[in-house]
Each structure stands twice: as structure tokens, then as C-alpha cells.
Structure 1
Amino acid sequence: MAFAGPAFAQTDAGDEVVPLWPGAIPGARGTRIVRKVNDRAKTAATHDRSITGIDAPALVVKRPARPNGSAALLLPGGGYGFLSYDNEGIEQARWLNALGVTCFILLYRLPAEGWTDRHLVPLQDAQRAMRVIRAGAARFGVEPQRIAVLGFSAGGHLAGSLATRHAEATYTPVDAADRLSARPDVAGLIYPVIAMDPATTHKGSHDNLLGPSPDPALMAAASVERRVTADTPPVFLTHAGDDATVPVANSLTMYAALLAAKRPAELHVFDEGGHGFGVRLAKGVPASAWPTLFTAYAKRKGVFPAP
């Protein structure tokens, strides 16, 4: 589907936009949700858009000039309260496209905007997105067994949830695509929110996803480190020790859980980088190395092709 007017006004003209749900959206209860785009860029030559009001979740497809069959589902962060569309979507697609990776930026629903079962809403969209990509693999020019997920901050929590809960039934199947696996072939969790424990979590992500006073069982179910199984795919983690927004303990906790479950995992913790750096760090800043490290990891796991 091509760019389709106001409903997808946050995308760029000519973008291919694929709606996730062919009919009723799970959890819809008639709440009026209005799409809003806030561009925080300081110059007219750049964009730094954040998006709220995700009424119709969709995939924005970014195709490389020379596709190599690999794909990445990109999950921007924003504390489950907005989507950091340029920093953790468009700019990630740009460097991945240069490697030949076909990218799918997921405009997933924000749980506090008026949906039933708010704690499941982002995961429903992520599962469905992976299945839609696999169902359309031939059309998109990708191989269904070479699909990564890359998530940032709260999007890292969503990517981790997809990696650990891909087989969980979170919605009623709607078509043949839902017979396909939602398991990513490798997961990249970049400065991710992992734990829902108040001592470790990011409060904004926790409250937006679960509400301010969730049932302890619900909180445990949403804690990614507790959901690791023998079928969790290889996981790449990166974080900066000076992250003042999402404590580095989140990545450390996840890495320990993966090791305990004997799942393949790689962790990089840098002393400098802060939070929300995407690919915007100067080359001299330690955390700027993460895209090269993630690329190498995905190649070793057979998802990105070796040179």
C-alpha cells in the first residue's frame, strides 16, 4: 500500500505502508484516538519526529537499493507513550538499508491510549507484524528465516517480549498469516527496558504499559527476564553505564537470564553514551560502536549474510 493521506501523515511521501489488521483491531473499544506528530528538529533540513495517537498500527517498509534477503523489524522507543520515529526508526533503516537489509518500521499501538488489555496491545502488534512480514516474504524480497527484530528503550522491551513470548496466544487469529511463527531469528535490544520491578524499571514505560498499580502477577508476566525459554532466539544487548533514564541493570538482568537458560547472547556495556543515542553518537563516543557489533552478531547467527 502506498502513502495514504492523513492516517499515515507521519511517514514520508512514497513510503509503502502495510496495515497490520485487515478488519477490527484487537482491543478496540471505540475510543477516539487522534494521530499527532511532534517534530523536535531544530532545522528544516532534518526531522526528529515523535508520534502519538496510533489508531491504525502499520508497517512502514524501507527497501534497500541492493537487497540481500535479510530483514529487520524496527521497534522505536518512547516509554510506551510515544514513538521516536526518526531517531529509532528512519535513521536505523538508513544504515541497515546500506547493508542490503529490508526494514519494516512498526507503528505499534500505545497501551495507555484507550485499548482493552493494554498490557498485551504492543505485543499483539509485534507478533502480527512478524507474521505479516513472513506471509509477504516473496513480495518483500526477504527470506522468512532471516528476520531480525531491533528495539530501543521501551521498543527494546517490546523486542524482548517478542523474542520470549512469540508463541503466546495474545489475540484471536484473523487470517492465514497467523498460522506462521512470530519468532524473530535474532533480537537486538538497545538500551532496553527489561524488568518491571520498580527498583529497576523505567517508571514511564511501566506505568504506560501496565498502569500505575498493576497486579503483581501482571508485572511478573511483563518482566522479560522471567520469560526466557529454550526457544528464545539469539539476543544481542547493548547499554551505556551512564544511562540515567533506563538503568543498565536491565540489560545485565536479561543477560544473566539468558546465560542461566543456556541461550546464545552477547552483551556490550559502554562507559559513555547516555540514553536514546540511536546512531547519533560521534565516532569517539564508546557506544557508537554498537551497529558494527550488532551487524557482526547477526552475521554469525546467519541472519545477515557474511561478506
Structure 2
Amino acid sequence: MQKQELAYQDTKFNLDTYWVDPIADFGTPNKRPLAIICPGGAFKFLTDREAQPIAFNFNSLGMHAVVLDYQLVDDDHSVYPLALQELATTLNWLKSQEEIQHIDLSKVVLVGFSAGSHVVADFNSIVLDPDQKDKVFPDELTVTPAANVLCYPVIDMTIGWPKDEDWAMKIAPDIYYWQAQEHLTKHGKPTFIWQTVTDATVPVMNSILYAQKMDMLGIPYEMHLFGSGAHGLALGNYVTQNPGNEANLNAYDTKWWELCVNWLKLQEIIPNR
């Protein structure tokens, strides 16, 4: 893992980069897909459970991975719109790394967990729409994601999370950013969604609303709603278990990763062989 510092205007932020080294035996290195991962943490912190272990899983598919340390709520900043600007800056930075790291820029996937999914969903809805983009990111977007993966996502901040409206205002003083599904257009990218119907933190209706809007717009999607399991499962196995926390384990829900891999093959992000 290597740290990379970037900046949007006068605000600096960090990436953790997980590059897949070229195979030395090959005369010409393979260009590899890449996942940009936005961990959750209620916009208060970024959980490591949804960072390096997820990056390693993507590496195992032959994909590069980058974990974005996006803007959280602090004394000086709200999350929005800065988190979206940081994600756009990260995408543009990939252009400079295309030849150095052998990246297939046509196969970049945005991956969000919980609060991090709200960043990804808002980006898919707002920044990818030419009529809305300049409100957030007036510069040219030189790299466009091909697909999204949303894991137990926050989509609409008015239907159960956060429970405190004051916290929602700290996340985004402009309520324009609160409801990702409301701004989704035909420019949104194919999306994989999974959640549990027993999620007691983020209501499952978040996933349903976003899928419903994609369905109305004809955007390809795949959604899996599991019948049991707590919020914040990550991989749902011992790799991402906080020691002693049985709620981090669910043998049924670990299937989400296999289903996601199948979907990435369907989207031709990774080869179907």
C-alpha cells in the first residue's frame, strides 16, 4: 500500500493505493480495471474494516484498488460538496497514472459502503449529469466511472438515517445533496446494490428507492436483499470481524461478494473466464 496526497483547490486529502504489479514474464503489461473504495463510518470516521480488506479482494480479481479518504464532518467543513469534488479529482488523477500503473480507464468502478455509498450515489446522480455537474465540479471530468457497487447504502437522508436532522445539516447544509435518488438521470452508470432487510441502522428502503429510480430510467442494476444480518457487515466473515463481535459475521450474507464478482463479469469489467 502507498499513500498519495491530492488536493482540490486548497483542501488536501489522501488516497491509499493498492496497485497490482505487472507480471514480469509478460512482454506487455496488462491494463487492469480499478476500484475506488469509499468506506463507511457515519461521516464521522472511515472504518478500516471497509478499506484494506476490500481492496485486497479487488486485487485478487486482478484489479487495482484505491481507498479514498473523503471529507468528513469537522469544525471547518461539511461533507458536501467537497467529498464529490475529491472523488472527481481522484478520477482525473487516474489519468496521470494510466501508463505508469497500467490502468484500464474504461473499467473504473466506484465502491461505497454505508455513508460512503451516499458519496458514490450522489456522484452517480449529480456529477455524471452534464446539467448538474458544474454546480459541483466545474472542471472537466477526464475519467468517467463505468459502474458502481453500493453496500448497505445511505441514499436518502430523510428516511431514517441520520436520526438527527442537525447531523444531516452538518453533513450537507444544502439539502440538494440529501436525496441521491431525486437527482439520478439517464447518465447514471450500472449499479450493484446489496443490503439486509433487517438492517437496523440504515433502512432497507434506501436501496429500494435507488433501484426503483434506476428501473424507471432504464439504467442496468442488480440488487440483492438478504433476509438477515446487521448493518456494516463488510465481508461478513472473520477477515472483517471486530474480535468478539458476532454481529460482524453472517455466513449467508458473505455471498454478496461472489454475486458482485458475477455482476462485474456481466458488466465486462473483469473477464468471464
Please indicate the TM-score interval, normalised by the length of the shorter structure.
0.7 to 0.9
Question: Could you tell me how far apart the structure 1 residues matched to 2:8 and 2:184 are?
Answer: 31
Other structure's SS at 1:130 match = helix
- Counterpart for residue 68 of structure 2: 106
Deviation at 1:233, TM superposition (A): 0.3
Tell me which residue corresponds to 1:288: 254
The reply on whether 1:128 has 2:86 as its aligned counterpart is no
For residue 257 of structure 1, the aligned residue among 213, 235, 251 is 213
Give the superposition deviation at 1:166: 2.4
| TM-score (structure 1 length as normaliser) | 0.75
In the alignment, what sits opposite 1:16? 2
Alignment correspondent of 2:245: none
SS of the counterpart of 1:129? helix
Q: CA RMSD in A?
A: 2.3
Q: 8 Å contact 1:118–1:209 — kept in the other structure? A: no
Q: Does the 8 Å CA contact 1:111/1:119 hold for their aligned counterparts? A: no
Structure 1 spans left out of the alignment, 5+ residues: 1-14, 26-55
Q: Alignment partner for residue 210 of structure 1, among 169, 177, 184?
A: 169
Paired with 1:281 and 1:129, the residues of 2 have a C-alpha distance of: 30
- Pairing of 1:168-247 with structure 2 (within 5 A): 168-169=133-134, 170-171=136-137, 173=139, 178-181=140-143, 183-197=144-158, 199-203=159-163, 207-208=166-167, 210-211=169-170, 214=173, 218-247=174-203
Change (3 A) 1:171 1:233: closer
Aligned to 1:8: none
1:196–1:146 distance in 2 versus 1, CA, 3 Å: same
Distance in 2 between residues matched to 1:22 and 1:184, nearest whole Å: 19
Match of 1:35 in 2: none
Residue 45 of structure 2 contacts residue 72 of structure 2 at CA under 8 Å; is this kept in 1? yes
Q: Find the aligned partners of 2:223 and 2:167 in 1 and give their Cα distance.
A: 27
| Percent identity between the two aligned chains | 23
Q: Is the 8 A contact 1:81 1:208 kept in 2?
A: no
Question: Do the aligned partners of 2:197 and 2:228 also contact (CA within 8 Å) in 1?
Answer: yes
Aligned residue identity for 2:62: G
CA contact (8 A) 1:135 1:180 kept: no
- Structure 2 letter corresponding to 1:103: A
Q: CA deviation at 1:179?
A: 4.6
Q: 1:98 to 1:248 in 2, by over 3 A?
A: same
Q: CA deviation at 1:133?
A: 1.6
Q: Is the 8 A contact 1:59 1:104 kept in 2?
A: yes
Which position in structure 2 is the counterpart of 1:157? 118
Runs of 4+ in structure 1 off by over 6 angstroms are: none
Q: Alpha-carbon deviation of 1:209? A: 5.3
Contact 2:32–2:103 (Cα < 8 Å) also in 1: yes
Maintained 8 Å contact 1:148/1:184: yes
Structure 2 residue aligned with 1:142: 103
Distance 1:207 1:180, change over 3 A: farther
The residue type paired with residue 77 of structure 1 is: G
> Map of 1:48-63 to 2, 5 A cutoff?
56-63=12-19
The aligned counterpart of 2:269 is: 303
| 1:237 alignment partner, SS class | strand
Determine the C-alpha separation between the residues in 1 that align with 2:106 and 2:195: 27
Cα–Cα, structure 1 residues 212 and 92, in superposed 2: closer, same or farther, change >3 Å? closer
User: Which of 54, 68, 71 is 1:92 aligned to?
Assistant: 54
